[in-house]
């Protein structure tokens, strides 16, 4: 019973870290939340969550994490952004995440804009590129939050079943 409690508490911490990781680019939020599922399944076994569902949740966590890295770049490419805008967005997200919770989003936008403005003189519409990076960043965050929420639901459900 003590083992189950420890694993559930650790899992809950991973779920919280997962939600934080959805907005902080340095943390793979959905993957951290998926670790919570694994932690609760260790003492409870596969009776808590079918193997196929566990695999689907793990694949979804990995896929949305990879997609999150690609969305800003894909959306900015369509708007004519350069590598400077993309790198500016990444640097802005990292710097912004240390300033405020919304700093990640604001930092991505400002970083992309400054990257285009300062290092891509040929781009006549740096604001268009920055908005595209911003949209891609928001889309990635929303997708990560959605998958992390689903994983959190199954974690809570599994934890409740574990203690019945």
Mean pLDDT of the chain: 87
Element (H, E) at 121: none
Asked whether 143 and 67 are in contact (CB, 8 A), the reply is yes
Task: Kindly list the domain boundaries of the chain, sorted by start residue.
Answer: 2-162
pTM: 0.82
Q: How far is CA 98 from CA 9, 44, 90, 101, 122, in A?
A: 27, 38, 13, 8, 31
pLDDT band for position 122 (cuts 50, 70, 90):
confident
pLDDT for 101 equals 66
Maximum Cα–Cα distance for the chain, whole Å?
A: 64
């Amino acid at each position: 019973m003590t083992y189950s409690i420890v694993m559930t508490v650790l899992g809950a911490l991973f779920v919280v870290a997962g939600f934080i990781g959805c907005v902080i680019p340095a943390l793979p939020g959905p993957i951290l939340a998926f670790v919570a599922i694994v932690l609760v399944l260790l003492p409870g076994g596969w009776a808590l969550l079918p193997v196929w569902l566990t695999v689907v949740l793990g694949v979804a966590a990995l896929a949305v994490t990879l997609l999150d890295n690609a969305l800003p770049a894909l959306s900015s490419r369509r708007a004519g952004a350069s590598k400077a805008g993309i790198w500016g967005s990444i640097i802005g997200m990292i710097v912004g995440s240390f300033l405020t919770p919304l700093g990640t989003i604001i930092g991505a936008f400002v970083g992309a804009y400054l990257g285009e403005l300062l290092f891509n003189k040929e781009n006549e519409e740096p604001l268009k590129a920055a908005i595209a990076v911003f949209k891609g960043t928001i889309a990635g965050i929303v997708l990560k939050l959605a998958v992390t929420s689903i994983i959190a639901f199954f974690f809570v459900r599994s934890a409740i079943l574990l203690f019945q």
